[in-house]
Structure 1
Amino acid sequence: MKSVALAAMFLLAADDARVFADAPVPVTVQGVTAQLRVDPGAPTMPVFNPDFADRAKLDAGPFAIRAGIGPVRVNGRSAVVRLDFGAGEFRRRATWFAAPYAQGADGTIGPGGLPEARIRFDLHPVQPGERSVTLPLTDFGYVGMGTEIKVGDAKVRILFTLARDRTIATAAAGAAIAAAQDGRFAGAGETMPIRLGVMRPVRVMTLGRPLGVGPLALERIFVRTGDFGSAASIPDMTAPEADPDEIVVTGAKKKGKQRSFLEIGRDALAGCSSILFDKPAKTVTLSCR
């Protein structure tokens, strides 16, 4: 009997994470009830939609906030607010913009903004054949928490997000992945909503060699062709073959910010049952089949 009680105690100690499902949760902000989406890829600073900021009468402070979506700049406002998820009140600086940021909720927050040391996201029931892979946890500051992997000679920052249906990379990350994994553009370009209602050009890229991120094997990602770097080096499988006697000189694009981010969305996370962020241990663990 004593051994059973001891085992139960160790089980509780090993599973002390705050658990969130794939749904908004009730929270009070400045005493006003809100529905907040806790997302593994959301910013550390809570971001509210403008209608909720008005309803909660959030009082903007002197600190300016600006979101950069490729070349588009969107100004925002910020204030220090009191939040309570039901386990006690804590304070965070929050921000909001003129356009809505979160869909189906009043706002969003990432694991880095929560006071708990361990945050687990339960996405789907556990499936036979799952394996858990632990990766180093990287804190990207305001942007959120994820991991960082080496792709060829480049470092690519990884976010895991449920707020995005399709996995998408910045131009710099796309170019690095294409070079290392035999990536090629397929099909015509399109536009995709990125954040705050801003649409940006993207193209789908297929990989000749899947990109491994923990238990995930990515074979197809979207690339933001003109944002944070250049995607000009990525081959296009729909383009006609060049004349073997032709010499092509490509002018260098003016160098901007080379932000190598890959946001892994619902398409790639469909086979995962959970994502665990352990902040003291500085690890993120994905359990996927």
Structure 2
Amino acid sequence: MRRLACLLSAALTAAAPSPSERVIAPDGRETLSVNGISRTVLVDPAALGIPIITQSYAQAAGMKPGMIEIGFRVGPVRIDGHSAVASIRSGPGEPFKRRIAFAEPAYAKGFDGVFGPASLADPVIRFRLRDPQPGERVISLPMVGGSGMFGNWGSRYVVITIEGEPMRVILNPRNPRSTTNAGGAVRLARAYGGQLSARRRSRRSSSA
């Protein structure tokens, strides 16, 4: 099983990144190829483990729908699509084969697809968020994934300890606010001396 380190960084260090490290710009824009066809995609730490591209990109790459259909959500919108195994080249190394999902609507507007850090060949993915601020410190949180037959298709997450128990956290730098379910909110409030005051926001009323 490939080990993956995913780092969110306020800024790049002065030294150049190592050859095994891919640095993602704040806009997440990267160029890679599927079956030799290059397109611009979004690389997002909150994306699913299985790459998702548009139907038009899949057609250009000569992908044919396989037996496994895919259903997923973008905010409150459900998208149903197909999947197939294709060859990905995400850097100077050798291409590798992965199952890729594709659907008619774009997962991310303005991009031909979205790839999570586990969808790239690089062992270390660093997401550059912004310039450094005084008094900041660096915290390293290893990313882990699910288990079982379809475990690697889900989002990668980090595990933090709240009240002595693990809590799974998905890093989403494109969401303007942190969100949790009711149980998570109660645990966080209890652990840090907070209280719940605002009304609950449904997923349908929140921004995608």
TM-score, scaled relative to structure 1? 0.54
> Where does the alignment leave 5 or more consecutive residues of structure 1 unmatched?
1-10, 195-289
- 1:91-240 pair list within 5 angstroms: 91-140=97-146, 141-152=152-163, 154-181=165-192, 182-186=194-198, 189=201, 191-194=205-208
Structure 1 residue 115: deviation in Å?
A: 1.3
Report the AA paired with residue 206 of structure 2: M
CA contact (8 A) 2:75 2:207 kept: no
Cα displacement string for residues 24-50 of structure 1 (whole angstroms, at most 9, x for unaligned residues): 111121222211111122222111133
Distance 1:70 1:114 in 2: 24
Larger radius of gyration: 1
The 3 A distance-change label for structure 1 pair 68 and 85 is closer
Q: CA deviation at 1:170?
A: 3.2
Report the identity percentage. Answer: 29
Partner Cα separation in structure 1 for residue 100 and residue 181 of structure 2: 25
Change (3 A) 1:117 1:185: same
Equivalent residue of 1:184, what SS? coil
Counterpart of 2:23 (choices 19, 25, 29) is: 19
Q: For 2:74 and 2:124, locate their aligned partners in 1 and report how far apart those are by CA, in whole Å.
A: 30
5+ long unaligned stretches in structure 2? 1-14, 147-151
Check whether the contact 1:48–1:96 (CA below 8 A) recurs between aligned residues: yes
Determine helix, strand or coil for the equivalent of 2:198.
Answer: strand
- Distance of aligned partners of 1:15 and 1:172 in 2 relative to their CA distance in 1, 3 Å threshold: farther
RMSD: 3.0
**Could you tell me which residue of structure 2 aligns to residue 85 of structure 1?**
90
Greater fraction strand: 1
Structure having greater relative contact order (Cα 8 Å, sep ≥ 6) = 2
* Of 51, 60, 63, the match for 2:65: 60
CA shift for structure 1 position 135: 2.5
Q: How many residues align?
A: 184
Equivalent residue letter for 2:83? S
Letter in 1 for 2:21: A
